[in-house]
Amino acid sequence: MSRWAIVDGGMTDRPLVDLEDRGYTLGDGLFETIPLYAGKPFGLERHLDRLRDGADRIHLEIPFDNETVRNSLAGLADKNSVDRGVARLTVTRGRGPRGYGTKGCDRPSWTLTLRPYEPVSERMFNAGFRLARVSINKNPSSPLSGLKTISSLEAVLTLDEARKKGADEALVLTTDGHVASGVAVNLFWLKDDTLFTPSCECGILQGVTRRIALDMARHENIQTAQGRFGPDSVSLASEVFVTNSLLEIVPVSCVDGLFDIPGPGPVTRLLKGKYKQLTISGLD
């Protein structure tokens, strides 16, 4: 992590966590991961919109306005001399009395940290990700479904299981057997010239990059389909790729017994190229 951070609006080179903060004790909070290109945040407004939507759902007050975050990020990038980086914005319910009750938790806390980020290499892009099937499923009716919560133990365990199988990421299914996503990525596949991705009903996080990929595909006159799809749909794909704000768009070369086609396909390459242009021209 870079030396300088923002804690509750102030810049410091000695960021400290309050041992009674509910983020630390209970995982009671949300976060966003925001990429920086040439020292500038990409998609910041969309990340903040998602954060605010999530905060509404968990009755958490967001203690800053968007301009404050934008200025704080510019200050941090400058002070830490970070050009291509990744910022993490965390908001917690702050200090609270012992136990789970939220009464008296009226001072949410927030931090902003930054670190340099090495983009996915050409070699890694060409090799593609390997996805493993895992035993942990996503429950679309969980109250945490679709939230970017800091309570990430399920993600930790799921990725651990996938990595132990020698994969880079996981193919996570819903509790009723539909394709959902990876652990920290949204999933797409091309079948019969249509780009498929699971819908929000599958309990996925509505990725900022997912939406950009869908918009770019439509702009290129590629048909898109969002819905509940079984793993058999992936097995008929000609291309599979994953998205997130850091990885951008990464081809998948293998999905555990369902898909095995090495090398990025033409649609994956096209969208990756368009995405790269967007990161230069800007989004917001």
Ligand X SMILES: Cc1ncc(COP(=O)(O)O)c(C=O)c1O
Residue 245 binds ligand X (CB under 6 A): yes
| Minimum distance from residue 99 beta carbon to ligand X (Å) | 28
Residue 181 binds ligand X (CB under 6 A): yes
| Minimum distance from residue 20 beta carbon to ligand X (Å) | 27
Residue 209 binds ligand X (CB under 6 A): yes
Tell me, letter by letter, the H, E, C secondary structure of the chain: CCCCEEECCEEECCCCCCCCEHHHHHCCEEEEEEEEECCEECCHHHHHHHHHHHHHHCCCCCCCCHHHHHHHHHHHHHHCCCCCEEEEEEEECCECCCCCCCCCCCCCEEEEEEEECCCCCHHHHHHCEEEEECCCCECCCCCCCCCCECCCHHHHHHHHHHHHCCCCEEEEEECCCCEEECCCCEEEEEECCEEEEECHHHCCCCCHHHHHHHHHHHHCCCEEEEECCCHHHHHCCCEEEEEECCCEEEEEEEECCCEECCCCCHHHHHHHHHHHHHHHHCCC
Q: Please, which residue, 4 or 241, has the CB nearer to ligand X?
A: 241
Considering only residues 109, 149, 243, 279, which one is a binding residue for ligand X as defined by CB under 6 A? 243
Within residues 72-111, the interface with ligand X by CB under 6 A covers none
| Minimum distance from residue 155 beta carbon to ligand X (Å) | 7
Residue 145 binds ligand X (CB under 6 A): no
Size of the site for ligand X (CB under 6 A): 13
Q: Which two tokens stand for residue 145?
A: 């479904």
Considering only residues 184, 190, 195, 252, which one is a binding residue for ligand X as defined by CB under 6 A? 184
| Minimum distance from residue 86 beta carbon to ligand X (Å) | 10
| Minimum distance from residue 40 beta carbon to ligand X (Å) | 17
Considering only residues 113, 145, 174, 186, which one is a binding residue for ligand X as defined by CB under 6 A? 186
Residue 185 binds ligand X (CB under 6 A): yes
Measured CA to CA, the distance from residue 173 to residue 186 in angstroms comes to 12
Neighbour tally for 263: CB within 10 Å:
13
| Minimum distance from residue 101 beta carbon to ligand X (Å) | 28
Q: Which residue lies nearest ligand X, judged by its C-beta?
A: 207
Residue 279 binds ligand X (CB under 6 A): no
Residue 210 binds ligand X (CB under 6 A): yes
Residue 207 binds ligand X (CB under 6 A): yes
| Minimum distance from residue 107 beta carbon to ligand X (Å) | 27
Q: Please, which residue, 22 or 148, has the CB nearer to ligand X?
A: 148
Q: Please, which residue, 77 or 170, has the CB nearer to ligand X?
A: 170
Contacts of 52 (CB under 8 A, 6+ apart): 62
Sign of CA dihedral 138, 141, 142, 148: positive
- The binding site for ligand X (CB under 6 A) comprises 33, 181, 184-186, 205, 207-210, 243-245
